[in-house]
């Protein structure tokens, strides 16, 4: 498990609208009891992502939206087999978190 790994959403009932979650937790925490994640949502027909708080990120060929305010956690065993890693978008993800937590 690595920071910015993307996993299938462990909540099967939400996979149609929120197919993935992205782990944002630092690897400095050894053997955590929970992993902090943010859901990645499909864009609703005709809607646009808010660029700073909810940036668009791609997993494979699918454009998704980081739903920053829906931050949550799962037990490590609930996240299995990352499907992607979005570390190349770290600055965009941190900007969204900074805006949510600090207003800038």
Q: What is the pLDDT of residues 44-67, one digit of tens each?
A: 766 666 689 999 999 999 999 999
Torsion of CA 85, 89, 91, 97, to 10 degrees: -70
So what's the pLDDT on residue 46? Answer: 60
Query: The pTM is what?
Result: 0.91
Query: Are 26 and 40 a contacting pair, CB within 8 Å?
Result: no
| CATH code assigned to 5-102 | 2.30.30.110
So what's the pLDDT on residue 28? Answer: 82
Enumerate the domain spans of the chain.
Answer: 5-102
* Vertex 22 angle, CA 90 and 61, to 5°: 85
So what's the pLDDT on residue 47? Answer: 66
C-alpha span between 22 and 26 (Å, rounded) = 12
C-alpha span between 35 and 1 (Å, rounded) = 10
The burial of 7, by beta-carbon neighbours within 10 Å (0-12 exposed, 13-18 middle, 19 or more buried), is given as buried
pLDDT along the chain (104 residues), means of 10: 94 97 88 92 73 93 94 94 97 97 89
């Amino acid at each position: 498990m690595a920071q910015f790994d993307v996993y299938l959403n462990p909540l099967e009932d939400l996979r149609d609208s929120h197919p993935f979650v992205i782990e944002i937790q630092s690897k400095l925490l050894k053997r955590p009891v929970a992993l902090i994640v943010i859901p990645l949502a499909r864009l609703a027909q005709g809607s646009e992502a808010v660029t700073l708080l909810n940036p668009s990120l791609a997993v494979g060929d699918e454009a998704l939206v980081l739903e920053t305010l829906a931050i949550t956690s799962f037990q490590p065993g609930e996240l299995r087999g990352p499907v992607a890693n979005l570390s190349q978008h770290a600055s965009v993800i941190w900007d969204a978190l900074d805006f949510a937590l600090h207003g800038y």
